[in-house]
Amino acid sequence: MAAIKACNILITGANRGLGLEMVRQLVEIPYPNRQIFACCRDPDGPKSKDLKDLAKKHPNVVKLIRLDVANANSIKEAAKKVGSLLGKNGLNLLVNNAGITAHGNMLTTSAEDMHSVFNTNVMGPFTVIKEFIPYLRTAAKASGTPGMSCNKAAIINISTILASMTCVGEIYPHWTAFSYNVSKAALNMMTVLAGMDFKPEEILVMSLHPGWVQTDLGGEGAMIGVKESVEGMLRVISGLTEKQQGAYMDYTGKTLPW
Ligand code: NDP
């Protein structure tokens, strides 16, 4: 099991798929006073039942937070709520996991799909980072140790190999999600630039591809299950240092070509 020693962790889109499995595995890793802010847009809806049950089982660790990444006000409200629960302690690890896709190539993708996918996959992480950066700064300052790590202050953007200009040629003809690929390529650029912006403050930023995973988004025919993907991602996250600032990696720890 990965030795994640981040005290305070926030995950968006935590009610199902990879986000939910991340919360599930993190609660099994004991750490004193850990808080996991499990964010989802509809905590009372049927799609959040499993997360709600998990939060009930671990009330001191799992904090359910309403957060719609496509809505700036919702992100602001969530930041206020999380801030009040963090107190003087900062946020050590922020996982921008929530994401959506839409089917279609350049010609069949509508402007509405393009807006909606960009709003969730690009504007979402952008606004989340802006609202939560004060807490990551607090954690970076409080750590008292030099260098970068997920235990100190880190932002993980869940990306995809489909954002790789080098690799996408082999996949795109079989999995046509034009808006998704373009949005995740923008997310990767955000990783690189935010990595430069936050380097002086020793806040780590990187993009992580979870593999092709059996979730609602990945489909039943995907190559791996959520357990394997999240085990791999947590192992990678736990080993990150300043050497991986602005990196693009997959769940096995391999660096991906841009
Ligand atoms: P799922 O479709 O299973 O889950 C997506 C999650 O994102 C759900 O919790 C969903 O919540 C949430 N979400 C969507 N829109 C919003 C929003 N506006 N606000 C808050 N939450 C939102 O997908 P995965 O678990 O597979 O995907 C997780 C991440 O991994 C995504 O970023 C995806 O792009 C990435 N990824 C996945 C791959 C795969 O093969 N599965 C491959 C490569 C990358 P709700 O229930 O409310 O809809």
The Å distance, Cα 102 to ligand 1 centre, comes to 12
Other CB atoms within a 10 A radius of the CB of residue 66 amount to 15
Length of the chain measured in residues: 258
Kindly state if the Cβ of 226 falls inside 6 Å of ligand 1.
no
Kindly state if the Cβ of 34 falls inside 6 Å of ligand 1.
no
Over its length of 258 residues, how does the chain's per-residue pLDDT go in tens digits? Answer: 568 999 999 999 999 999 999 999 999 998 999 999 999 999 999 999 999 999 999 999 999 999 999 999 999 999 999 999 997 889 999 999 999 999 999 999 999 999 999 999 999 999 999 999 999 999 999 998 999 999 999 999 999 999 999 999 888 888 899 999 999 999 999 999 999 999 999 999 999 999 999 999 999 999 999 999 999 999 999 999 999 999 999 999 999 999
Give the alpha-carbon dihedral of 26, 153, 189, 17, to 10 degrees: 10
CATH number where 168 lies: 3.40.50.720
Kindly state if the Cβ of 210 falls inside 6 Å of ligand 1.
yes
What whole-number distance in Å separates Cα of residue 168 and Cα of residue 175? 10
Domain count, the chain: 1
User: Is residue 103 assigned to a domain?
Assistant: yes
The Å distance, Cα 149 to ligand 1 centre, comes to 25
pLDDT tens, residue by residue, 211-223: 999 999 999 999 9
- Tell me the whole-structure pTM to 2 decimals: 0.98
User: Is residue 257 assigned to a domain?
Assistant: no
Q: Please give the pLDDT value at position 1.
A: 58
Kindly state if the Cβ of 167 falls inside 6 Å of ligand 1.
no
Residue found under tokens 């926030």: 10
Atom of ligand 1 nearest to the CA of 70: 18
The Å distance, Cα 217 to ligand 1 centre, comes to 7
Q: Please give the pLDDT value at position 47.
A: 97
Burial of 167 (0-12, 13-18, 19+ CB in 10 A): middle
Whether the Cβ atoms of residue 62 and residue 15 lie closer than 8 Å to each other: no
Q: Please give the pLDDT value at position 174.
A: 83
User: Is residue 1 assigned to a domain?
Assistant: no
Kindly state if the Cβ of 16 falls inside 6 Å of ligand 1.
yes
The Å distance, Cα 14 to ligand 1 centre, comes to 8
User: Is residue 258 assigned to a domain?
Assistant: no
The Å distance, Cα 142 to ligand 1 centre, comes to 32
User: Is residue 125 assigned to a domain?
Assistant: yes
User: Is residue 83 assigned to a domain?
Assistant: yes
Atom of ligand 1 nearest to the CA of 14: 9
Residue span of the structural domain in which 144 resides: 8-250
Q: 210-245 burial, b for 16+ CB within 10 Å, e for fewer?
A: bbbbbbebbeeeeebebebbbbbbbbbbbebeeebb
Nearest residue (by CA) to ligand 1, atom 16, is: 98
User: Is residue 256 assigned to a domain?
Assistant: no
- 34, containing H or E segment: none
Alpha helices, H only, the chain:
17-27, 49-57, 72-86, 111-118, 124-143, 168-171, 178-198, 226-238
User: Is residue 73 assigned to a domain?
Assistant: yes
The Å distance, Cα 16 to ligand 1 centre, comes to 8
Whether the Cβ atoms of residue 153 and residue 195 lie closer than 8 Å to each other: no
